[in-house]
Chains A and B, each alone.
Chain A
């Protein structure tokens, strides 16, 4: 029943999927990891991105093109959401914990219900030249949709990594995570930087949503599973570590595929959440934590 070939297969698929997991989590790594925003709605924004891609797909847009087109509106959306969050919770200071979390939980819920109202409960997918067929390598069949998503995900994650470490704005975002007061002392406004960063995080999440609908069909309640996957990756990586996100995504991808191959698909939802609980219990700082 269990063979070396099967394991090899699982690992290859795990790496492809893992990179994709890193891409869908990298926005959360910024908003939650670096900015300390309790962003429960991240996965809902992701699914919303997937549905916008679907909508553009009905006009014949290629999902990757849609993913790029999504960046700007999602950036604006992220800025608005952060602005509301900042004005009502961060600024008042008191008791931001419970109410901030409740706020994002409510936003996530509204997004999910709106998607249900507009698109219904059916599964949706996109058509593109690469969604139908597979790359055949000997006994191995790898769907092109996974390869395209893998390449785009890798590109997205690496680009974001370079942006954060090599540009002035990127370093400012990292600085705001380390010491917002010191930033204020050198004459920069941490709120503006956080707003910008949250916008970037949301834009990237929207684009990752385009990859999501390339990889698998989407339904409005999909955000629940991705809460687990994204938080698992971000916590496992260590808060705010973008490079760690890539490693953690690969680990989750491989573990999940191996478990699926060995135990069957009905255990799928528990893998990411189980790993998350395990990491929280054993090593809450993650692999590359600050």
Chain B
């Protein structure tokens, strides 16, 4: 575990360093846009897995947490021209609070009710945003990026670096949750909530913590959207597609290890860039089919399959 941990941190620092120097050698902006999207899904899938994979609570509201983060960031820009870091922290805090709220409301109920409530929250919030003039209502609102300053020569590079850093932070948090007492508690909840409660696991507090962490990371990813897209409107920001993709990435990659959602996100998001050439629907159909096939045939995902291969004999 110790050496394993050291390698993880070396890789994390290396990844951030690579993201920092990449603009020096790669001149095509397209790659940065593409990588931004892929990394965004790494964050979303990793965040989803904290609650869905470890604790067994299926969140259908990824779009809601993402959208709330985006709109919190938008309000900060509109109200005070907040810098990027403030936007991300603001988006994370608001979405984290939303996670705690959704958790308090439903976590005492059976798992399926939590799932339904997260869809419900997504649509209720979306409707409020559609009817809220200050943030552009249904038509959306255009944002001007401030001139870029400091170390980066273009805003695209800065956004890419910010998302890369956020992805590394998310993975580190997910990994910490997984190997610490929090993860043990959450897994106990997933396997049997009653048994966990009886053995003295503080189930409600752990679930709220997982909700808050998961929501905050999704919100932080959303907070980068306004400056990335220069335009925010509610329908696509709160899209149910974020929910299905985050869920599918975690399930297909494997839910029991932090690397699963990362593998799933990279595969599906890169695949999306190729499949979109055929049609967007084709990619969605493929995602849906893969999700169903994996859930039925290989419930441990790609990482689970690889682990079984590595161990040699199938169990």
Contact = CB atoms under 8 A, between A and B. Distances in A.
Q: Do A and B come from one complex?
A: yes
Interface of A: 32, 38, 40, 84, 88, 95, 97-99, 101-103, 105-107, 109-110, 113-114, 116-117, 224-225, 227-228, 231, 235, 266-267, 269-270, 273-274, 276-277, 280-281, 284
Contacts of A227: 116, 119
Interface in B149-195: 190-191
A106 B113 CA distance: 18
A99 B109 contact: no
Interface residues of B, number: 45
Contacts of A270: 123-124, 127-128
Contacts of A117: 281, 285
A280 B105 contact: yes
A224 B123 contact: yes
Contacts of B105: 277, 280-281
Given A95-B190, A269-B123, A276-B117, A116 B281 contact: yes
Given A109-B291, A227-B119, A98 B285 contact: no
Contacts of A84: 296
Contact of A99 (B112, B119, B123, B295): B295
Contact of A266 (B109, B130, B281, B295): B130
A106 B291 contact: yes
B120 A228 contact: yes
B216 to A, nearest CB: 21
23 contacts: A32-B112, A95-B191, A97-B111, A98-B53, A102-B247, A102-B251, A102-B295, A103-B296, A105-B58, A105-B244, A105-B291, A106-B244, A106-B291, A110-B285, A110-B289, A113-B281, A227-B116, A266-B127, A266-B131, A269-B127, A273-B119, A273-B123, A280-B105
A39 B211 CA distance: 23
B52 interface: yes
Contacts of A224: 119, 123, 240
B255 interface: yes
Chain B interface mostly helix, strand, loop or mixed? helix
A269 B289 CA distance: 28
B56 A95 contact: yes
Contact of A106 (B120, B131, B295): B295
Nearest to B251: A102
Given A102-B247, A106-B248, A266-B127, A95 B113 contact: no
Contact of A274 (B109, B124, B130, B248): B124
B287 to A, nearest CB: 7
B138 interface: yes
A276 B119 CA distance: 10
B115 interface: yes
Nearest to B52: A98
Interface string B271-315: 000000000010011011101100110010000000000000000
> 4 closest Cβ contacts across the A-B interface?
A270-B127, A273-B120, A106-B291, A109-B288
Contacts of B299: 95, 99
B60 interface: yes
A276 B255 CA distance: 29
B106 interface: yes
Contact of A284 (B53, B113, B255, B291): B113
B19 interface: no
Contact of B288 (A97, A110, A235): A110
A280 B113 contact: yes
A40 B58 CA distance: 12
Contact of B116 (A95, A109, A276): A276
A227 B112 CA distance: 13
A121 to B, nearest CB: 10
A280 B287 CA distance: 31
A94 B285 CA distance: 28
Nearest to B125: A270
Interface in B72-112: 105-106, 109, 111-112
B112 A101 contact: yes
Contacts of B206: none
Given A97-B56, A101-B112, A276 B120 contact: yes
Contacts of A110: 285, 288-289, 292
Contacts of A106: 244, 248, 288-289, 291-292, 295
Contacts of B201: none
A274 to B, nearest CB: 5
Given A116-B281, A276-B117, A277-B121, 4 more contacts: A98-B53, A101-B112, A109-B284, A224-B240
A90 to B, nearest CB: 13
Given A109-B244, A273-B120, A276-B120, A102 B131 contact: no
A267 B111 CA distance: 28
Nearest to B58: A101
A114 B191 CA distance: 35
Contacts of A273: 119-121, 123-124
A255 to B, nearest CB: 14
Given A109-B287, A284-B113, A267 B131 contact: yes
